[in-house]
Amino acid sequence: MATRPQSVISPAQSDDSGDDQADNQRDLFLATYRWMLLARLSEDRLSALWKAGKIVGGVYLGRGQEALSAALGVNLRKGSDIFAPLIRDQAGRLAFGEPLIESMQTYLGSRLGPMRGRDGNIHRGRPREGYYAMISHLGCMVSAIAGGLMAKRFQGDSDFVGATCIGDGGMSTGSFHEAMNMAAVEKLPLIVLAANNQYAYSTPSSRQFACADLVDRAIGYGFAGHSVDGTSLTDCLATIGKAVAAARAGGGPQLIVGTILRLAGHAEHDDASYVDPIIRHKPFAVDCLRAAEEMILAKGWLAQSDLATLRNAVMNEIDDAVSTAQKEPVPDAGTEDWCALSSRHLVDGHLA
């Protein structure tokens, strides 16, 4: 995988420039904001491509979840940490180091992308590089990451964490419960970031769980628990940063529950008409991206014109990725090898 592109942001002069810690916080905020912006605008493009009939299958957007997701991605270390993003983690994928082109290649079915046309949309990953490829069955990636961490422990590695994401719906699965319990028993440096986005597809939280707050479950599992306002990038960076550091330092598993509202349907084919109008106006319906921009302006970190320049640069990057992916070859049934095993001689019907 390519190294992370450098941020195009050159932080403007600010009142905090004399204070190293404040500088670092500002730089991290701006860098993370850029991943959020890249995620949002690239997903807007995916939505447009889907509406134009250029993408088959579902398009699942992380709109509203970018702050949580990106804040996790920037806290992970490519090369030593392992990460299993889930449906709405475009921002976290990018922040962890996925080149933008790979989402476009996957959605557009390029043969050169990581999934080679064999699997689509959010299922992509490069497991050998610590970036696991999710399956649709929610909860399954929690134990997979836990096993990856067990392997690293067996191999005598140190200084690593593993992270995965889930939603309030996925937290109802048996797979999730089994894996959380197992990770706690094994005392693994596992971070589980849960986005309570109020709806699991169309089912509201009231039909999904009956506990007062999902973070309370951490106690039962034997996890440390953290609550975070998922609309506030500042809060996300601080809380997730603290949780990742705790796991890295040997503090065991960490559950972080962020509250947001999914600012889109479950997928682009879903108009989210079931969302309660009252919920639409609750504090968690704040758009984290807009809130981050307002903070950047209020703090004087960037001017309005800087944000516009940045947005243009990001759009150009997206144009390049889409254009490249659209020109790439698509899979061909005639040259496909139709082998599900790496042990070719054991593929049924292909015995030597």
Residues that bind another protein (CB under 8 A): 82, 114-115, 118-119, 123, 125-128, 132-133, 135-137, 140-152, 154-155, 174-175, 178-179, 181-182, 185, 339-343, 345-351
Smaller CB distance to another protein: residue 44 or 129? 129
Smaller CB distance to another protein: residue 73 or 148? 148
Cβ within 8 Å of residue 216, ≥6 positions away: 225
Instruction: Report, in Å, the least distance between residue 129 CB and another protein.
Output: 9
* Contact call for residues 256 and 228 (beta carbons, < 8 A): yes
Smaller CB distance to another protein: residue 70 or 122? 122
Instruction: Report, in Å, the least distance between residue 17 CB and another protein.
Output: 43
Q: Pairing state of beta strands 82-84 and 162-167?
A: parallel
Instruction: Report, in Å, the least distance between residue 311 CB and another protein.
Output: 34
d(CA 76, CA 72): 7
Instruction: Report, in Å, the least distance between residue 249 CB and another protein.
Output: 21
Instruction: Report, in Å, the least distance between residue 68 CB and another protein.
Output: 23
Helix (H, G, I), strand (E, B) or coil at 19: coil
Smaller CB distance to another protein: residue 147 or 251? 147
* Contact call for residues 262 and 51 (beta carbons, < 8 A): no
Smaller CB distance to another protein: residue 174 or 277? 174
Instruction: Report, in Å, the least distance between residue 136 CB and another protein.
Output: 8
HEC profile for 128-169?
Answer: HHCECCCCCCCCHHHHHHHHHHHHHHHCCCCCCCEEEEEECC
d(CA 25, CA 326): 38
Cβ within 8 Å of residue 261, ≥6 positions away: 64, 197, 198, 275, 279, 280, 282, 284, 285
Smaller CB distance to another protein: residue 175 or 234? 175
